[in-house]
Amino acid sequence: MARLASQGKLGYYPTPEEELDRIMEIVKINNINALDVLDPCFGDGRALLSFKRNYGYDNVVTYGVELDFNRFKSAMVGDDNQIKYIDLGFNCDALQEIIVNRNSFDILFLNPPYDLESADNTEQSIIGKKRLETRFLEKYTDSLIPDGLLIYIVPSNSVYKDFNYLTKKYELISLYAFDEFENFRQVVFIGRRKAIDKKDMPKEKAGEILKWLQELTYVNKYDTQEVKKLTSQSFGINNITYVPKAVEKPKVRIFTSLLDPEKMIETIESEPLDNLDGFFNDTKLKSFSISPVQEPREGHLALLTASGLMDGKIEDGVYIKGNVEIESTSVDEEQEDGKIKTITTYVPKITLFLYNDIEKKLYEVK
């Protein structure tokens, strides 16, 4: 996997049950009709289970991603009565191996790993590292429908650093600190996604919140009186009744770019025929309206297919699925001054699969 499993484990801080109860008290949902909820770091699945239990197993459709295989396997079994509460789950890296379409989820529950990402690809090595919290926030914000709800659980310093982004993308509903704040200095940001990016929070209010976040970040956790004073503060409102809009939103398209032929066949065969397009994802090409100045060459078509822009059905019963991975090779060269310089070369590795639904066979195209 692209992100080290050890990094995922070190950054794993499951949301305490009492904090989930508090969130469910703040967020009340009316007129539920197939509410789509996404948790890209579901851990043991407790947050998605809370939505199912509070709003009905049949009313909420849950989607989730978990990097750790043991946690993933355990959560996918179901609740204490082995009733399934994660409708569609993926065991992979939610940052680099999941693709999801825009404006499709009603609620995004985001308690990501708290860590600095590793610069293991070309883009990161050029632009520098970001915190994982920021990367998850930026990747999954567009998956929310306008007016959809973000429930964001991170250390106070993460909200402080991403405050401009959050207030541009979201209308603040509620912001408060965990009761067990001393452990990881976590806060909960609940926001409603804006239809248009706009910074509309008064400067005075923004300054007050930023000051509070800074004080939370640096307060001595053994100064119980000061901690209690700070954590007793909150911003926004204490509860909201969220009514999902009756809008025509696109069908959820979420799949992994991590290709395992055996798992791929299992997934395909378990999918109803009319849902195969969802697995292969034919949405990307439709979102482009490009008129090339000349006919693309054979190599161009291969790259477009492998990169995912041309995934999907190519004729009745025949589907293609592509993937591009970057492989790196490093060579040490001695310079004129005697110093050793490491030169790294990045080469795209293209993998292309063709599935014939009539033959029930998967072919690797080389």
Cβ atoms < 10 Å from Cβ of 341:
10
Q: Tell me the pairing of strands 60-65 and 35-39.
A: parallel
Beta-bridged to residue 193, according to DSSP, are: 170
Closest CA to 110 of 141, 77, 142, 75: 141
In this prediction the pTM is 0.69
Distance of CA 53 to the CA centre of its chain: 23
For position 258, what pLDDT does the model report? Answer: 63
User: Coil, strand or helix: which one is 17?
Assistant: helix
| Predicted local confidence at residue 99, as pLDDT | 83
CB atoms within 10 A of CB 116: 13
Domains belonging to the chain, first-starting first, are 5-242 (3.40.50.150), 259-365 (no CATH)
- Give the pLDDT confidence score for residue 17 in this predicted structure: 93
Determine whether 127 is exposed, middle or buried from the number of CB atoms within 10 Å of its CB (0-12, 13-18, 19+).
exposed
| CA–CA distances in Å: residue 75 to residues 37, 43, 72, 147 | 16, 8, 5, 29
Q: Which residues contact 42 (CB under 8 A, 6 or more apart)?
A: 48, 64, 65, 66, 75, 86, 89
Q: How far apart are CA 14 and CA 50, in angstroms?
A: 13
CB count in 10 Å sphere of residue 366? 6
The per-residue pLDDT for 126 is 36
Q: Provide the pLDDT for residue 131.
A: 84
Q: Give the tokens for residue 109.
A: 């529950």
DSSP conformation class of 361? E
Residues 6+ apart with CB under 8 A from 121: 2, 96, 326
Rounded to whole angstroms, the Cα distance separating 295 from 186 reads 53
> Distance between CA 233 and CA 151 in Å, rounded?
18
pLDDT in tens, 239-286: 888 777 655 677 777 877 665 555 556 555 555 555 555 555 433 333
Which pLDDT tens digit goes with each residue over 293-322?
Answer: 444 454 555 555 555 555 556 566 777 776
Which residues in the chain show pLDDT less than 50?
1-10, 119-128, 281-296, 298
CA 290/CA 305 separation, integer angstroms: 16
Max Cα distance, the chain (Å): 72
How many residues make up the chain in this entry? 366
